[in-house]
Amino acid sequence: MKKWLSVMITVLLLFSLAACGQKEEKSSETKKGNTTKEVFKIGAIPDQNAADLEKGMTAVANYLSEKTGMKVEFVPSVDYAALVTGFQRGEIHMAWFGGLTSVQARNLVPDAESFAQRPRDAEFHSVFITQEGSGIKSLEDLKGKSFTFGSESSTSGHLMPRYFISEEGIDPNTDFDGKPNFSGSHDTTYKLIEAGTYKAGALNEAVWQAAVKEGKVDTNKVKVFYTTPAFYDYNWTINSNVDEVFGKGSKKKVEDAILGITTEQKDITDFFQTDNFIETKNDNYKKIQKVAKELQIIK
């Protein structure tokens, strides 16, 4: 009898241990599945108000999640360089870059593709602004005046404005009143001019137009005195690792979804100030790369 009880106890213990083991294994698998499920991460250069950027890019993430069936999240970046680095490391799978940052990113990830842009980005402009009554009416008048660019890595806030200034024979490093400032973002640039901190500055035409429309800038104090010739600028660039990480065909699904955006996605189109996105290609940004090399901003 004792022997039989001993055998039964042993059998029950074995069953109990086996059951626990299965539960732990299942729990571990579930936990692993939840924590290792790949998230498609999108980013954007922080060239404007952080709250507006978060709202607009989160709308894109939600739209892409719905269209592709993937889990998509917007990951904010502290500055332009951080976004390029995240893209290089494969941590950012798609980004809304300016022309210069897209060139920088693709130099580091050669198989990455700039595939979509707004129609206006094929003929983009920077605007130069100044205080009313400053006496500045042309680029030549910037000599001896204090000046602010946007971010050092900004196409429309630094690279192309510097290029057009240089074309007028002005050296920003020696011909201004002191060294040029870098505000970090387009909205900060027009605020600095409005406050009188600098006599003039250059920024993204679209951000300026939105600020005027929304009454964020006092046009009694600040005016545009020069608009640059057109150049290619902002674009969606997708990383080369997308199909490898998310499965074959994932890259095309994402690209088709972005190119399929219409005014039905009003929260997205309003943020980007466009009705849709059109196709672009890497070769469209060769001039940006050439100018950046001439100005020694990239090697």
Q: At a CB cut-off of 8 Å and minimum separation 6, what does 65 contact? A: 71, 72
- pLDDT band for position 22 (cuts 50, 70, 90): very low
Q: Is the pLDDT of residue 4 over 80?
A: no
CB 160 within 8 A of CB 228: yes
List, for residues 61-92, the tens digit of each pLDDT value.
Answer: 999 999 999 999 999 999 999 999 999 999 99
CA distance 191 to 201: 10
Output the pLDDT for position 2.
Answer: 46
Query: Largest alpha-carbon pair distance within the chain?
Result: 110
The answer to whether 40-122+233-283 and 125-227 have equal CATH topology is yes
Task: State the Cα–Cα distance between residues 80 and 197, nearest whole angstrom.
Answer: 24
Q: Could you tell me where the DSSP H helices lie in the chain?
A: 2-36, 50-68, 80-88, 99-108, 160-167, 186-195, 205-213, 242-246, 250-259, 266-272, 286-294
Encode pLDDT of 213-231 as tens digits: 999 999 999 999 999 999 9
Average pLDDT over the chain reads 90
Report, as an integer, the average pLDDT of 32-38. 50
What's the pLDDT band for 14 if we cut at 50, 70, 90? very low
pLDDT 10s digits, 142-170: 999 999 999 999 999 999 999 999 999 99
Residue 57, token pair as written in the block:
């890019």
What dotted CATH number matches 125-227?
3.40.190.10
Query: The domain 40-122+233-283 is classified under which CATH number: 3.90.950.20, 3.40.190.10, 3.30.450.20, 3.40.50.300?
Result: 3.40.190.10
Per-residue confidence (pLDDT) for residue 298, from 0 to 100: 86
Is residue 183 pLDDT above 70, yes or no? yes
Residue 7: pLDDT band (50, 70, 90) is very low
Domain coordinates of the chain in residue numbers? Answer: 40-122+233-283, 125-227
